Amino acid sequence: MSGLEQLESFLRKDPSNAVLACDLMGQWLAAGRAEHAIEMLDLLSPGARRDHGVRFYEARARLQSDDAPAAADILRELLADGADAPAIHHDLAYAEFAQGHLEAASEALQPALHGHPPLLDAQRLQARLLHWQGRLDEALRTIDEALAGHPGDDEATGIRALLLLDLNRFDEAGRAALAALSRDPTQLEAGITAGTLALWHQRVNEAVAVFGRTANRHPQAGRALAGLGQAHMLGGNIPEARRVLEHATARMPNHIGTWHALAWCQLLLGDLASAQVSYELAFALDRGFGETHGGFAVLHALRGNVTEAEAAIVRARRLDPNGRSAVYAQALLVLADGRDDEAAALVAPVLAQTPASQATDPLEFLRRLRAQMTRT
């Protein structure tokens, strides 16, 4: 009998023992078994079930089970009932953050930041909140303060790596990510940073490995999923890229670039109907984004709607003179008109700037693209 099973047998014999219940639930959570921690609640007496510590661990289990609304309700009830600890405020802030309620999360977090010393978890969450709000310099100062009090903390180091990446301090970001990953190979922000740098340098296998490891450990992390999908695209595994990017858009429905990446996977697999939906969802986020209009132009060109395609190309180029999709759409129209050399000349500079496509023959690329896309 394992230690956890033995503790569970003790709890069955003493269902009013809230201290034992908290110990057992905490261990199940540490083992990544939130569902079992929740099941333990059925063993408890009504009094133990209402215990503040038990309720706190239940909230953590709900958070780990991706049920942030239920966790937030429990934590608010605890605070209303007189429970007041930095960890409760932190977890309520995290539950609000998980739901995208940034202002509510920031307000809930303040009591956990004002202790002496402040709670490390609260400092890390504060840095994440500031990052999401685009206040990168403030976020970096916050995480540097956390690391001053807790040198070598893996999670704080990973957060710092991602902040440095988004501040375009790439060498520092890479060093920070390596330091965090050397101690915790699945640290979220460090994995995103290292995977992104590998992707930008066209180290496809490394990018797939790093993003894959990160996404497996953090399956709800949209940015890790988006990176993994793009790495599969770069490696030519379009079906897998589509599968992963579908998950990424579910986690980040407001990230227009991920919708574009998914749309191109759908186009390359000949699924014009799904690509249309993806571009429409991107359009709903930003009606003035040039690449979205370029995507519509590609769809019109493939369907033989020349007038509509040309109008969409004009809109796309007005909004983004350097957009790639408009070039593909124009080349497809020229190709359909029998002007092969002109079509190839249009696409060649774009391919030359596209990772893993520099050596591709432009005309063959266009013909393959059209044949594959027009199967449906």
Domain ranges across the chain: 1-108, 142-201, 202-268, 288-376
Query: CA 10, CA 189: separation in Å to the nearest integer?
Result: 40
Structure-token match 């990018």, residue found: 207
Residue 190 contacts residue 177 (beta carbons within 8 Å): yes
Q: How far is CA 36 from CA 6, 22, 65, in A?
A: 15, 13, 11
CATH number given to 1-108: 1.25.40.10
Structure-token match 């180029």, residue found: 317
> What is the pLDDT averaged over residues 123-148?
96
Query: CA 282, CA 280: separation in Å to the nearest integer?
Result: 5
Token pair of 141 as six digits: 């100062």
- Per-residue pLDDT of 149-167, as tens digits, reads 999 999 999 999 999 999 9
Topology match between the domains 1-108 and 202-268 = yes
- Per-residue pLDDT of 236-266, as tens digits, reads 899 999 999 999 999 999 999 999 999 999 9
**Residues 6+ away with beta carbon under 8 Å from 173:** 161, 162, 164, 165, 193, 197
Residue 193 contacts residue 345 (beta carbons within 8 Å): no
- Per-residue pLDDT of 10-56, as tens digits, reads 878 888 999 998 998 999 898 888 998 898 899 899 999 999 999 99
| Domain 202-268 class in CATH | mainly alpha
